Structure 1
Amino acid sequence: MRGKRRETLKGLTAALAASVLAPVSRAVRAQQKRSLHLELVGYTLGIHVPQLMAVRQLMLEAGYAEPRIDRIESMQVIAQSIIGGSAELGDADVVSALRASEAKAPLTVVGLVYNSTDQVLIVNADKIKSYADFRNPENGIALNDLGDFIYVLVSDALARNGVDIEDATVIQMGGSGSRMNALLAGRIAAVPIHYDQAADVMKKGNYKILVEPWKQYKRWFSEVWVANRKWLGDQANQKALVDFNKATIKSFRQATKDYGYFAEGYRKYATVPGHADIPDAALRPIWEQLATEIGAWPADGGFKLEYFKELLPVYQHAKALKGQLDLNLAIDARYVDEALQQLG
């Protein structure tokens, strides 16, 4: 009897230990999951939805922990922050990233946040009747930053129509909302704003869209993922970056074909007022524009060295780059290529 009792007690002790230790071991395993430290722009619009779905959901499904996310308003600041090692990956302005690399900073572009842009150049049609009207110093153009991808975009659009941007009045003004309000108040004559914002503006007066980038460029880059080259030297980081690009491309593909996936992400993550309650009648046209006409989320990731080579003359003409850039150092497509191989 005593032997049986000892065996029973031993079994109970083992069972109790297992029941106590099991949650602990699960907690330990959870702690061992990697959490990426990311820096994102301070807002999320429709074009950013696949990015947030990849970061917030698909990476978790791939076995990663919830990321640490810092929100920073300026993409130029994000580029400098990644150079300083403040985070692992950052959502930066493509021109700022290339300019930093040109200046010998250890920054490399490693993937796309999205393809093209949903920003258009909208003008006060009472003031701007032709491109020549931009030479009038009273017809100011409000831009976020002198030398960023939007500046390059506007510079090239003007140049194609016989106007040097240096002959125009350019006013530095951060935030598309602030620029839109300045346009409506008559303080400036032209402004780049997001496509869905432009639709609202045109209801309020004699405004028209002058430049739609996706109609002028086969490819256009705006926001890109950047990493510090020292960080890229670690094999564990390289694996994480491949997984990160896999999640991004999977999200691109899903968002392009599945309105429901996009709508879920928009209502959950967008920072647009009323985003959680936006009806399908208003949201579906935004998705259709982004997924089809703009082609914001390419199924192959849209990231190849030759695509950047095609745009170099545009950057250089706008004097955003000096022509001393080593693209093989500034752009590294290996992690997107490996992600595509694994995805098939």
Structure 2
Amino acid sequence: MRTTRRQLFQLAAGAGAGLALPYGSGAFAQAGRQLKLEIQGFSLAIHIPEVIALREGLRELGYAEPKIDRIESMQVITQSIVAGSAEAGDADVVSAMRASEVGANVKLIGLVYNSTSQVFVVNADMIKSYADFKEQSNAIALNSRGDFIYVLLSGVLAQNGVDIDDTTIVEIGGSGSRMRALLGGRVAAVPVHFDQAASIVKQGNYKVLIEPWKTYKHWLSEAWLVPGAWADDKNNERAAIDLNKAMIKSFRQANADYEYFARGFRKYATVPKAADVTDSELKPVWEKLSKEINAWPNDGGFKREYFKELLPVYRKAGAIKGEPDLNRFIETRFVDQALQELG
């Protein structure tokens, strides 16, 4: 059967009006391109829109399946991007800013997620007020000194009259190990993901003391870090826009459609038996991430002023020393263009 010109236009419209917009021709210019990316070694609930964007959203924009390397440490991801080992990595904002401050030519180009799903749970027999953190026996277990959770905690403690240097910090990798240290009485406070916190408080006199989204107007944990030369190369402009486009589209879909998130969680989450998690367990997690934490901002949540708000916190924690050049380090034009094209 012969296809008419009118039918071709109708087919194009049915496939998505975006194909008729300026980004369409740009996306076709990237047809088949394989991005080389580095992401966290684990994918939790807060990461699910990101993983869907990478595994499915980029292909919808005409890209090949990206080459993804999983790396356990966010600081190692930052070091890898500084070395140019990948095109983009979901790095720790604090270590990325520190690298930029000491001269590395790197740029942040968009968020992986907003805020954090981690909270601080304390042994309420040991921690009755913030002043109790000054007791040397009331140890706080963290993944590592200087990472974004350390900086986050430093800011909260400072707001409550406690200098983090006056506390006892012990380094314990993995939220499961930290949780066992708390339950075993070896430490007085730990950061864990909020869904883990719910099970902890049922096991004794424990309470959630810090929920970061209630303390900070904006908190930025993970963002896409790229080599500066890569960001400045015109041949990569379309890829940087489309990476953010896939991310923001996935953010919006995850907020609007629980089933979209749930399917992605059961398929991509690295937690044990993720495929078998029931709606009664998973839906409250989605509601908290989407509605309360605003983990997936519909506008991408990537504004230079949000980073500027946090500079005093970073300095107080010793994560940075001076005044980073945010105009150079925070590159917002790719998110701005993605939003313009998405509408």
TM-score above 0.5, yes or no: yes
Separation in structure 2 between the aligned mates of residue 334 and residue 228 of structure 1, nearest angstrom: 16
TM-superposed CA distance for 1:144, in Å, is: 1.3
User: Cα deviation per residue 1:43-77 (whole Å; 9 max; x = unaligned)?
Assistant: 11110000001000011111101111111010000
CA drift at 1:323: 1.4
Cα distance per residue 1:134-177 (max 9 Å; x no partner): 11111111111211111111111111111111000011222112
> 1:282 is aligned with what amino acid?
E
- CA distance in structure 2 between the aligned counterparts of 1:82 and 1:174, rounded to whole angstroms: 23
Deviations 1:301-321 (A, max 9, x none): 000111111111111111111
Distance in 2 (CA, whole Å) between partners of 1:177 and 1:87 is 30
Partner of 2:106: 107
Deviation per CA, 1:221-248, whole angstroms, max 9, x where unpaired? 0011100011122212111010010000
> Which residue does 1:191 correspond to in 2?
190
Matched residue, 1:24? none
Which has the greater radius of gyration? 1
Letter in 1 for 2:140: I
The 5-angstrom pairing of residues 300-315 of structure 1 reads: 300-315=299-314
**What does residue 282 of structure 1 align with?**
281
* 1:232 aligned partner: 231
Matches for 1:179-258 after TM superposition, within 5 Å: 179-258=178-257
Amino acid at match of 2:144: D
Runs of 4+ residues deviating >3 angstroms: none
SS in 2 for 1:50: helix
Matching of residue 265 in structure 1 with residue 264 in structure 2:
yes
CA distance in 1, matches of 2:336, 2:191: 33
Quote how far apart the aligned CAs of 1:272 are.
1.0
Whichever residue aligns with residue 231 of structure 1, its letter is W
Give me the CA root mean square deviation: 1.3
For this pair of structures, how many residues does the alignment match? Answer: 315
1:174 counterpart SS class: coil
Q: What are the Cα deviations for residues 275-329 of structure 1, in whole angstroms up to 9, with x where unaligned?
A: 1000000000000000000000001000011111111111111111101311111
Deviation at 1:32, TM superposition (A): 6.4
Deviations 1:74-103 (A, max 9, x none): 000000001111111001111001000001
C-alpha offsets along residues 118-145 of structure 1, whole Å, 9 cap, x if unaligned? 1001111111111111111111111112
Unaligned stretches of 5+ in structure 1?
1-28
TM-score of the superposition, structure 2-length normalised? 0.90
Distance 1:32 1:161, change over 3 A: closer
Taking structure 1 as the reference length, the TM-score comes to: 0.90
1:65 to 2:73 alignment: no
Paired position in structure 1 for 2:55: 56
Asked if structure 1 preserves the Cα contact closer than 8 Å seen for 2:92 and 2:223, the reply is yes
Aligned to 1:135: 134
CA distance, structure 2, for counterparts of residue 282 and residue 142 of structure 1: 27
Judged with a 3 Å threshold, the aligned counterparts in structure 2 of structure 1 residues 219 and 32 are, in CA distance, closer, same or farther, namely closer
Could you tell me how far apart the structure 2 residues matched to 1:172 and 1:256 are?
Answer: 35
User: What SS is found at the alignment partner of 1:202?
Assistant: helix
Question: Which digits, 9 at most, give the CA deviation of each residue in 1:237-275, with x for residues without a partner?
Answer: 111010010000000000011000000000000011121
> In structure 2, what is the Cα distance between the partners aligned to 1:287 and 1:138?
37
Say whether residues 1:126 and 2:125 are aligned partners: yes
Report percent identity of matched pairs.
Answer: 63
Cα distance between partner residues in 2 of 1:97 and 1:165: 22
1:173 and 1:36 map into 2 onto residues whose CA distance is 33
Distance 2:212 2:115 in 1: 7
Could you tell me whether the CA contact under 8 Å between 2:31 and 2:62 is conserved in 1?
no
